[in-house]
Amino acid sequence: MQIEISPNVFVQRLDGRQTYDYRRIKVSFGADYGCCFVELGETRVMAQVSCELVAPKESRPNEGILFFNIELSPMASPAFEAGRQSELSVKLNRQLERCLRNSKCIDTESLCVVSGEKVWQIRVDVHLLNHDGNLMDAASIAAITALSHFRRPDVSSVGEEITVFSPEERDPIPLCIYHMPISVSFSFFQQGTYLLVDPCEREERVMDGLLMIAMNKHREICSIQSSGGIMLLKEQVMRCSKIASVKVSEINELISKALENDKRARKAGERCGYAASLPRGRITALKMDETLVDMTTVMDTAKEIIQEAAVPSEPSSAKHTRAASPVVPAPGVGQVGLGLENSWGLEEDVDEEDEGKGEEEPQMEEQHHERKPRRGVDVVEISDSEEEEVVILHP
Amino acid sequence: MEVCGISNVTLRDFSCEQSLLSRPDGSSSFMQGDTSVLAGVYGPAEVKVSKEIYDRATLEVLIQPKVGLPSVKERSQEQNVRETCEASLLLSLHPRSSLTLVLQVLHDDGSLLSCFLNAACMALMDAGLPMSCLFCGVTCAIAVDGEIITDPTAAQEKECRALLTFAIDSKKCRVMMSSTKGSFSVQELQQCIAISQKASEKIFQFYRDSVQRRYSKNL
């Protein structure tokens, strides 16, 4: 295939896209507030926002805390390992923090309940479900959409007392969001000769460098990061930022439309959530309505089984008339082998043997005792070892 | 106790989608009412030397909660699911290899463990792994007044006296795994098992329908 150097010339990508094309983006919501699913082509991401009342940081007593956690689930790719911080997860986490926390897109001061004592901690968990490239863009869309969808419980503080209202008592409150930064990724090939927007996984494997620009719809750059050790020219960065501004406004529109649709559906009392958004008409998907289970024979079967089952044999200890109860010498003291009857179904002659063993035991310990000092004398090297200090208590 | 009311024996609406993820070898999402679980299977693949078993495949089950890291509760559910899958999969056909099953909670509205089992079975089917039988999960809740509810919602789970989850196999409707919470009598246990076996027939019919639809030539 012939690929021309000029960016205006038609470049065919593996999935048939043009250079600057994004894959299909689908934004849907879960049944809870603050749960968002994003599909970017085959890449799938889920974000869930949760909140908790905590003590604020000492340096910022009247600001809420934002916490991001990107979970590289082994479901997304066999290369990801569960419960381990890989280089990629640290990089993605840091980039998401720069994109959403450091750009001050969320008003953290409104999350303060009592200055210096109680603030809301907003936690964003991003789960990667399928890795087909450009995880960062999908994660940033999912995280900001989930944050704008989220509602925190209402609180009131009278003096020392803080009351958290349940959703039934008072309507939950949305977060205060100033702007929505969205990350757009560019991959470079052959030392920056070729540029592709929204690289898929196969393109990511062979790319030389990656440029991520986070921007809001006011065309303000919130963070910019170049990785892969590629030298970029000023013009290239300018061109990328121009492309980013177009993409960001498109994605922003999509998000606000999705949020609006969800709001309308919730208001109308329609069923929402992942289960409701199952694609109909797909050959791999099937739905079955609520079904009644035929229960006519259940009671009889259960009764039959119980009657058929043999009565469990009484434990052998029950035969003994003497009730056994453990002896507790003093409160909080437990002892093994005292008080309780032996219920291991031993024959009488075995019992005798047991007694015999009991007699043997002290002898053995005596032997043991005798052996000890001898060894200490013979072997000079270990004479100061701990072994000499072992004291054997006679029964 | 004899005249125990069994009236609420319905299963919520079920839905399932298979091979919806591109990376895993088999994937499925399973929904029971609002409870939804996503499952992905990788394997048979290369196994770590430390986990290698010389005569069969090593099955690893991972459950990812929605918020935070997996805790003791998830670990115990992982073990329940793993032991059920090990009993039905023909692991000896793939010695010295690894199978990984990852389950992601999408929404919890009760009967989560049974949803895990159903999603796991659908994903294993999608991955085309050889199994001796299929399995499904059924959750029964016993209310304070002794009434048995199948496939309870989160609100019903909270109010009930006991919660029982069974994994049932498709060949003889036998119990493969049971996980119980709370106190109940022998009669109630047997009733719950009998109900679960009845309910499992519906679920297996659903499995059959969805596979039939998948391999049909038209919708």
Q: Each residue of B13-44: pLDDT tens digit?
A: 999 999 999 999 999 999 999 999 999 999 89
More confident residue, A342 or B180: B180
Which residue in A284, A292, A311 has the most chain B C-beta atoms within 10 A of its own C-beta, making it the best mutation to test that interface?
Answer: A284
d(CA B61, CA B148): 30
The pLDDT value recorded for residue A358 is 47
- The two three-digit tokens of residue A65, written as one number: 């805390």
**Cβ–Cβ contact B198 with A under 8 A:** yes
Verify whether the Cβ–Cβ distance A302 to B10 is below 8 Å: no
Nearest-CA distance A62 → chain B (Å): 25
What mean pLDDT, rounded, does chain A reach? 83
Per-residue pLDDT of A42-76, as tens digits, reads 999 999 999 999 999 999 999 999 999 999 999 99
Verify whether the Cβ–Cβ distance B34 to A31 is below 8 Å: yes
Q: Are B166 and B193 in contact (CB under 8 A)?
A: yes
Pick the range with the lowest mean pLDDT from A176-185, A272-281, B182-191: A272-281
The pLDDT value recorded for residue A315 is 55
Nearest to A281 among B4, B10, B219 (CB): B219
Model confidence at A376: pLDDT above 50: no
The pLDDT value recorded for residue A270 is 83
For residue A42, give the chain B residue with the closest CA.
B22
Extended strands (E) in chain A:
25-29, 35-40, 43-54, 65-71, 112-114, 118-130, 151-152, 155-158, 161-164, 173-174, 182-189, 194-197, 209-215, 221-227, 285-288, 291-292
Angle between helix axes A234-267 and A135-149 (nearest 10 degrees) is 40
The pLDDT value recorded for residue A327 is 64
Phi then psi for residue A22, to 5 deg, are: -90, 155
Per-residue pLDDT of A216-258, as tens digits, reads 999 999 999 998 888 889 999 999 999 999 999 999 999 999 9
Per-residue pLDDT of B69-121, as tens digits, reads 999 999 999 999 999 999 999 999 999 999 999 999 999 999 999 999 999 99
- The two three-digit tokens of residue A247, written as one number: 């993409």
- The two three-digit tokens of residue B70, written as one number: 């997996």
Q: Are A222 and A209 in contact (CB under 8 A)?
A: no
For residue A285, give the chain B residue with the closest CA.
B17
Fold classification of A25-274 is Ribosomal Protein S5; domain 2 (3.30.230)
- The two three-digit tokens of residue B21, written as one number: 């993820």
Q: What is the largest CA-CA distance in chain A?
A: 99
Nearest to A292 among B10, B17, B100 (CB): B10
- The two three-digit tokens of residue A395, written as one number: 């029964």
**pLDDT bucket at B60, cuts 50 / 70 / 90:** very high
**Cβ–Cβ contact A247 with B under 8 A:** no
Nearest-CA distance B181 → chain A (Å): 20
For residue B207, give the chain A residue with the closest CA.
A286
More confident residue, B162 or A82: B162
Model confidence at A369: pLDDT above 60: no
| Mean pLDDT, residues B135-164 | 94
**Cβ–Cβ contact A77 with B under 8 A:** yes
**Rg of the Cα trace of chain A?**
35
Which residue in B29, B48, B66, B209 has the most chain A C-beta atoms within 10 A of its own C-beta, making it the best mutation to test that interface?
Answer: B66
| Mean pLDDT, residues A77-104 | 91
**pLDDT bucket at A1, cuts 50 / 70 / 90:** very low
154-183 in B: which are within 8 Å (CB) of A?
none
Cβ partners under 8 Å of residue A124, min gap 6: A47, A48, A49, A66, A67, A68, A69, A100, A143, A146, A147
Q: Are A232 and A192 in contact (CB under 8 A)?
A: yes
Per-residue pLDDT of A91-123, as tens digits, reads 999 999 999 999 999 999 999 999 999 999 999
- Cα A142 to its chain centre, rounded Å, is 15
| Mean pLDDT, residues A356-379 | 49
Verify whether the Cβ–Cβ distance B198 to A294 is below 8 Å: yes
The pLDDT value recorded for residue B4 is 52
CA angle B38, B21, B75 (to 5 degrees): 35
The pLDDT value recorded for residue A259 is 95
The pLDDT value recorded for residue A2 is 42
The pLDDT value recorded for residue A328 is 64
Domain boundaries, chain B: 14-218
d(CA B28, CA B12): 19
Nearest to B15 among A30, A287, A305 (CB): A287
Verify whether the Cβ–Cβ distance A288 to B109 is below 8 Å: no
- The residue with tokens 């006296």 is B161
d(CA B217, CA B55): 39
Report ipTM for this prediction.
Answer: 0.91
The pLDDT value recorded for residue B139 is 96
d(CA A321, CA A343): 13
Q: For the domain covering B14-218, report its CATH number.
A: 3.30.230.70
The pLDDT value recorded for residue A338 is 60
**Cβ–Cβ contact A298 with B under 8 A:** yes
The pLDDT value recorded for residue A300 is 83
Q: Are B151 and B159 in contact (CB under 8 A)?
A: no
Pick the range with the lowest mean pLDDT from A191-200, A322-331, B130-139, B174-183: A322-331
The pLDDT value recorded for residue A314 is 56
> What contacts 24+ positions apart, CB below 8 Å, involve B178-182?
B179/B80, B179/B113, B182/B142
Per-residue pLDDT of B162-184, as tens digits, reads 999 999 999 999 999 999 999 99
Per-residue pLDDT of A8-42, as tens digits, reads 555 688 888 989 999 999 999 999 999 999 999 99
| Mean pLDDT, residues A124-140 | 96
- The two three-digit tokens of residue A276, written as one number: 């409701």
The pLDDT value recorded for residue A107 is 94
Pick the range with the lowest mean pLDDT from A126-140, A268-282, B96-110, B157-171: A268-282
Verify whether the Cβ–Cβ distance A274 to B36 is below 8 Å: yes
Model confidence at A371: pLDDT above 60: no
More confident residue, A189 or A317: A189
Domain boundaries, chain A: 25-274
**pLDDT bucket at A342, cuts 50 / 70 / 90:** low
- Cα A271 to its chain centre, rounded Å, is 26
The pLDDT value recorded for residue A282 is 83
